[in-house]
Chains A and B, each alone.
Chain A
Amino acid sequence: MNKTSSKQLLGVAIFLIAIFIGVPLAISLTGRWDFYFTLTSVALLAIASAGVWLTFYIGRINIGQGAFALIGAYVSAILVVKGGISFWISLPAAGIFAAIVAVIIGLPILRLRGVYFAMITLVLTQVVTLTALALPITNGAKGISSIPLPSGVSLFGIPIIPEFAAMENTKLAFYYTACILMVVTYAALYRLVNSRLGHLCRSMQQNEELASSIGVNIAHIRIVIFAISSFFGGIGGAMFGSIAQSVYPSSFQVADSVNFMLNCFLGGLGYVFGPMLGTLVLYFGWDLLFELGKYQLLIYSIILIAVIRFLPNGLLSLRIGKGGQS
């Protein structure tokens, strides 16, 4: 659509410097190493939330991203542990597998609109959890544990990605990996939304009848979008499994699916970078309210309701934080 302005570029540059240099610097100065895990989680959850945001973009409320994250986590874990395959191959494989499952599930359910689609997706997470409990390959309730850390990758003898297990600071390595994945995801999402596919999605979101009257194959685009969305979910989940070095049927639950959706609401459905901000605020917001003890959930919920009530277009509609994200 619009040409990228120099202001936007500056914003993106500041953002990249902040996450790749600023954060590690601040952490080493303050000694709060535990923040690495928190921020890595935020980055990965933001990837999965980006997928949910994309299904919002075609006018569908998706409360099932936890299902695809769990599928991704299991696929990666099984490939690494039982197949002995490198994690770096299992990562895209997890995304692709999640996308294939999305196509199969999406074919019948994507015809549904509004609350009906939302209800079906809400059930999906539970279905995948139960499937993981029942299947022999997923090890039932015991899950898959002691997943080895990502191995190194070298091309023509030149090491590209070092062996994680041999590293002094795996937290930092995971943090960087998650941030790179997140940046790539959001760059792709931004590009997609501003390309023709994004325009067609917008036309479908605003009026499916009119969209089909101008020749848009809405059924096809819905499937493509749902597959991409689930691909993001699978990638996020696989990475999570690798960091935790374990996957259980309860690794992603219905509550996680709901959170993925809330991240999008909170950040703003109209903004590509909304889910990223939403994930950060939601994740930290919860932790910050920890001091409140038993009132934590109450206050947290009230704040959420207030935000959705008074900022229906999400936090980014405030535009206080200049992250160059527009």
Chain B
Amino acid sequence: MSTLLQVKNVTKKYGGLIANNDISFDVSQNEILSVIGPNGAGKSTLFKMISSFVPTTSGEVLYRGERISNLKPHIVARKGIVRTFQETTIFKSMTVRESVVVAQHLRATASLAGYFWGSSAAKKDVVAFGNYADELLEFLGMSAISNELASNLPQGNLRALGIAIGLATDPKVLLLDEPFAGMNHDETMQMVDLVRLVRDERGVTVLLVEHDMPAVMNISDRIVVLNFGEKIAEGTPSQIQNNEKVIEAYLGSADDEIGM
């Protein structure tokens, strides 16, 4: 498998506080890689730097050898690296289908003026967007709720909507921000299946940040562990489960949390 995304010596400082210190790892194509760590380990900050929502202090993130850190988020999204958010970040007063349609705007072939005047390219786009939205929602098993207003959806569906919006942009790498947070076991397992499906069927590389250990062990090809802003381990789920540094980092809070 070839390397798709490289995190190289990334450091983030907020004043005197070091959120991430010299973090490096690679993400291969078609991989599901999880970043885990106790609260405050710097997972979210790292995630935001990869999607260029915050700039790095030093170091860089490369996608196919091209730097994607310290750019504007929309430019990174245009290159195919798309992040999702936790459930509160949605288009509240749009329906599920409208959200997925608007998220396809990167695929537009007609100009904004073309849409205004109703050019034939724009009309084609509108039909194509609608069809793709229906197809995508069916793929994600969300057809039944496609005309629901996003603000009326329960939490589990919101998470799926976030993934649907991310997928609608036709990403190469999907960054998932705590996709299992606040879910019960069944919901989590459904989501695990969904994320796998996205990787297997759509060829999307998945990078996720997560707390839920059983889910992470279940879903990940490889895991990167952060603690106090440092990378302390990297490897397959079984390697991580037996890694002494990792056990130490989680010890005291809960041994069984690492899924053993």
| Pair from one complex | yes
Binds B, one of A25-33, A85-93, A191-199: A191-199
Report if A207 contacts B (CB, 8 A). yes
- Give the contacting residue for A196; candidates B89, B93, B115, B166; CB below 8 A: B115
- Give the contacting residue for A195; candidates B53, B84, B116, B166; CB below 8 A: B116
- Give the contacting residue for B89; candidates A210, A219, A224; CB below 8 A: A210
Q: How large is the interface on A (under 10, 10 to 19, 20 to 34, 35 or more residues)?
A: 20 to 34
Contact of B83 with A213 in the complex, beta carbons under 8 Å:
yes
Complex alpha-carbon distance, A206 and B98, angstroms: 13
Cβ of B124 to closest chain A Cβ, rounded Å:
13
- Give the contacting residue for B108; candidates A191, A196, A212, A218; CB below 8 A: A196
Known: A196-B105, A200-B105, A206-B92. A213 touches B112 (CB 8 A): no
With a CB–CB cut-off of 8 A, which chain B residues contact A209? 53, 73, 85, 89
With a CB–CB cut-off of 8 A, which chain A residues contact B105? 196, 199-200, 214-216
Instruction: Please name the residue on chain A nearest to B93 by beta carbon.
Output: A206
Q: Return the CB mask of B16-54 against A: 1 if under 8 Å, else 0.
A: 000000000000000000000000000000000001010
Complex alpha-carbon distance, A29 and B86, angstroms: 63
Report if B82 contacts A (CB, 8 A). yes
Contact of A212 with B165 in the complex, beta carbons under 8 Å:
no
Contact of B90 with A212 in the complex, beta carbons under 8 Å:
no
Q: Return the CB mask of B75-112 against A: 1 if under 8 Å, else 0.
A: 00110001111000111111000100111011010101
Contact of A214 with B115 in the complex, beta carbons under 8 Å:
no
Q: Return the CB mask of B157-196 against A: 1 if under 8 Å, else 0.
A: 0000000011011000000000000000000000000000
Report if B67 contacts A (CB, 8 A). no
Contact of A202 with B102 in the complex, beta carbons under 8 Å:
yes
Q: Return the CB mask of B120-134 against A: 1 if under 8 Å, else 0.
A: 001001000000000
Contact of A215 with B77 in the complex, beta carbons under 8 Å:
yes
- Give the contacting residue for B106; candidates A195, A202, A214; CB below 8 A: A214
A-B contact pairs, 7 of them (CB 8 A): A199-B105, A209-B89, A212-B77, A213-B82, A214-B102, A214-B169, A215-B169
Residues of A within 8 A of B (CB): 191-192, 195-197, 199-200, 202-203, 206-207, 209-210, 212-219, 224
User: Top 10 closest A-B pairs, CB basis?
Assistant: A215-B77, A195-B115, A196-B115, A212-B73, A215-B106, A206-B91, A214-B103, A212-B74, A199-B102, A197-B112
Residues of B within 8 A of A (CB): 51, 53, 72-74, 77-78, 82-85, 89-94, 98, 101-103, 105-106, 108, 110, 112, 115-116, 118, 122, 125, 165-166, 168-169
